[in-house]
């Protein structure tokens, strides 16, 4: 019998089995360690255009995450916005330019805002000093990054007011952010670790990709909704998506959704909100409700905040987090004013500290305190805002209807979700992107295609209509009519 083992002379006697196994294991372990050290930290992806100058040993590298962020986008949402920037339609000076239906902003009540600002701007920004003059220190100096208490009180009151008064907000659960965008990023950072995921009913707002994926490392898992349900999410779809995600090894930390939904514009019913929160509680995950269009509801359905469901006493509300802001309902995106409202004290406390990166300048806070506290103005503004969206919506949807183009049912938002399937040359993502390109370059219209929103049914487009003048609508309809005709011929 001939037995060959490593270190032949050593392994003898009763310890032979143990030592004969241990020695190769140790050698193997140290080999692994050596290899690991050699390749750690991982090399960033190779860069092109390297050059050297002076005595440099090569061009300096930026981080691989910066390379990712700097890369040109392939999202039709951003491509469309860029194209408009290069050739924007103007009724007076550029009648052949691209008409913007891609950006959810509103100028419907600028007359009201303008007269308020003309009267109150100066006074709201500079508080009176004891001597009666302006007091610069009230706007110039450092203030708490999470927002002045007066502003949080005013915001809480305003949010309760636009949500129909059925829910109240506690200013101590509130953090003021420089727009809705950092509110979303900070919540993602706080609720999920790098590599974890959120479920998100799709079609969804294309900006979430940058908001969440740029820096937090949190994944978004679309939960596909269908036209047959008017794109409303169901618990069974959530359940299925969660199970699939877990099978793939993803750790799902929460559900993120917009209500009123963006891009569809429908409103989640009280029952659906209950179902979602019950589901989240069963699975022990978070719920993030983006309610930035809560005051832009123009249909007959009642808007219900997830904060109201959370406060019903039925649930552990610490898993519920609300995003809000003034970019849509007050039409002042230029003011960069958003809110994180969270029932979880650690989230509030971490978000407050993170606001060093995204705080609202004090002069703007002072304006907002005056604006939001002027309840007479706010009531008048909100009524006009809703009424004017409703009218513009009717006008826009009616125009499309006359072209044989229907829209999904909707009750809120600054947009409608347009069914352009009849204009597709092929019923596929490719066909949809071809139509997007034809809309941009032939009809000179920028509408956001469903594929940018992770919609699985081709042919749907989000069209924002609240920055349009009435006289622009016939221009748009005529452009679409011509496109439809040429593609049918």
Which residues, numbered 309-328, are part of the site for its own copies (CB under 8 A)?
314-316, 318-319, 327
Write out the two tokens for 55.
């005595």
Does 4 interact with its own copies (rule: CB under 8 A)?
Answer: yes
> In this structure, what are the phi and psi dihedrals at residue 49, rounded to the nearest 5 degrees?
55, 35
Question: Of the ranges 131-139, 156-164, 220-228, 422-430, which one interacts with its own copies (CB under 8 A)?
Answer: 131-139
Which residues, numbered 34-53, are part of the site for its own copies (CB under 8 A)?
37, 40-41, 44, 51-53
Q: How far is the CB of 126 from its own copies (least distance, A)?
A: 7
Does 288 interact with its own copies (rule: CB under 8 A)?
Answer: no
Q: Which of 435, 466, 437 is nearest to 100 (CA)?
A: 466
Q: How far is the CB of 307 from its own copies (least distance, A)?
A: 16
Which residues, numbered 381-440, are part of the site for its own copies (CB under 8 A)?
none
Where do runs of H (alpha helix) occur along 229-299?
A: 235-247, 270-283
Spatial distance between the Cα atoms of 368 and 374, rounded to a whole number of angstroms:
10
Does 211 interact with its own copies (rule: CB under 8 A)?
Answer: yes
Does 113 interact with its own copies (rule: CB under 8 A)?
Answer: yes
Does 199 interact with its own copies (rule: CB under 8 A)?
Answer: no
Would you name the residues annotated as active-site residues?
205, 290, 292, 328
Residue with smaller CB distance to its own copies, 161 or 278? 278
Question: Of the ranges 179-187, 373-381, 430-438, 442-450, which one interacts with its own copies (CB under 8 A)?
Answer: 179-187
Residue with smaller CB distance to its own copies, 11 or 456? 11
Scored b (16 or more CB within 10 A) or e, 50-65 reads eeeeeeeeeeeeeeee
State how far Cα 195 lies from the chain centre.
18
Residue with smaller CB distance to its own copies, 28 or 427? 28
CB 209 within 8 Å of CB 75 = yes
Q: In this chain, which of 33, 59, 383, 482 binds its own copies, going by CB under 8 A?
A: 59
Q: How far is the CB of 291 from its own copies (least distance, A)?
A: 20
Spatial distance between the Cα atoms of 391 and 388, rounded to a whole number of angstroms:
5
Spatial distance between the Cα atoms of 273 and 460, rounded to a whole number of angstroms:
25
Q: In this chain, which of 286, 328, 392, 462 binds its own copies, going by CB under 8 A?
A: 286
Write out the two tokens for 417.
């979700």
Q: In this chain, which of 75, 88, 97, 121 binds its own copies, going by CB under 8 A?
A: 121
> In this structure, what are the phi and psi dihedrals at residue 261, rounded to the nearest 5 degrees?
-70, 150
Pairing verdict, β 197-202 and 174-177: unpaired
Where do runs of H (alpha helix) occur along 248-404?
A: 270-283, 306-310, 345-354, 362-373, 375-402
Q: How far is the CB of 27 from its own copies (least distance, A)?
A: 8
Question: Of the ranges 137-145, 234-242, 383-391, 442-450, which one interacts with its own copies (CB under 8 A)?
Answer: 137-145
């Amino acid at each position: 019998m001939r037995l060959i083992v490593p270190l032949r002379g050593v392994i003898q006697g009763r310890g032979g089995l143990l030592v004969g196994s241990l020695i190769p294991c140790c050698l193997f372990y140290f080999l692994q360690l050596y290899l690991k050290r050699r390749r750690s930290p991982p090399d960033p992806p190779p860069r092109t255009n390297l050059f050297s100058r002076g005595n440099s040993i090569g061009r300096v590298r930026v981080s691989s995450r910066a390379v990712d962020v700097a890369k040109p986008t392939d999202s039709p949402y951003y491509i469309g916005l860029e194209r408009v920037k290069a050739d924007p339609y103007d009724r007076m000076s550029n009648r052949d330019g691209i008409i913007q239906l891609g950006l959810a902003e509103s100028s419907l009540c600028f007359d009201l805002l303008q007269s308020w600002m003309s009267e109150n701007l100066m006074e709201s920004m500079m508080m009176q000093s004891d001597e009666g003059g302006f007091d610069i220190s009230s706007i110039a100096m450092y203030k708490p990054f999470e927002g002045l208490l007066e502003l949080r009180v005013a915001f809480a009151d305003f949010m309760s007011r636009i949500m129909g008064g059925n829910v109240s907000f506690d200013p101590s659960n509130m953090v003021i952010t420089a727009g809705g965008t950092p509110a979303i990023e900070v919540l993602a950072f706080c609720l999920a670790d790098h590599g974890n995921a959120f479920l998100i009913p799709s079609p969804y707002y294309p900006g979430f990709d940058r908001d969440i994926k740029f820096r937090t490392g949190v994944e978004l898992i679309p939960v596909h909704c269908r036209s047959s349900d008017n794109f409303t999410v169901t618990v069974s779809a959530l359940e299925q998506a969660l199970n699939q995600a877990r099978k793939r090894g993803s750790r799902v930390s929460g559900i993120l959704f917009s209500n009123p939904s963006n891009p569809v514009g429908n409103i989640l019913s009280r029952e659906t909100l209950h179902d979602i929160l019950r589901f989240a509680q069963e699975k022990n995950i978070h719920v993030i409700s983006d309610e930035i269009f809560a005051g832009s509801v123009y249909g007959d359905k009642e808007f219900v905040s997830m904060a109201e469901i959370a406060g019903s006493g039925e649930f552990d509300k610490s898993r519920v987090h609300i995003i809000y802001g003034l970019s849509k309902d007050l039409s002042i995106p230029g003011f960069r004013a958003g809110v994180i409202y969270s029932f979880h004290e650690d989230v509030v406390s971490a978000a407050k500290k993170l606001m060093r990166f995204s705080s609202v300048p004090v002069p703007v806070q002072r304006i907002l305190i005056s604006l939001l506290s002027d309840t007479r103005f706010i009531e008048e503004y909100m009524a006009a805002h809703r009424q004017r969206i409703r009218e513009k919506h009717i006008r826009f949807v009616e125009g499309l209807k006359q072209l044989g183009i229907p829209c999904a049912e909707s009750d809120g938002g600054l947009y409608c979700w347009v069914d352009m399937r009849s204009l597709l040359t092929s019923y596929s993502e490719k066909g949809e992107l071809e139509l997007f390109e034809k809309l941009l370059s032939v009809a000179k219209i920028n509408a956001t295609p469903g594929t940018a929103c992770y919609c699985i049914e081709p042919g749907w487009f989000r069209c924002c209509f609240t920055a349009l003048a009435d006289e622009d609508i016939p221009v748009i309809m005529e452009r679409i009519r011509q496109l439809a005709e040429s593609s049918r011929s």
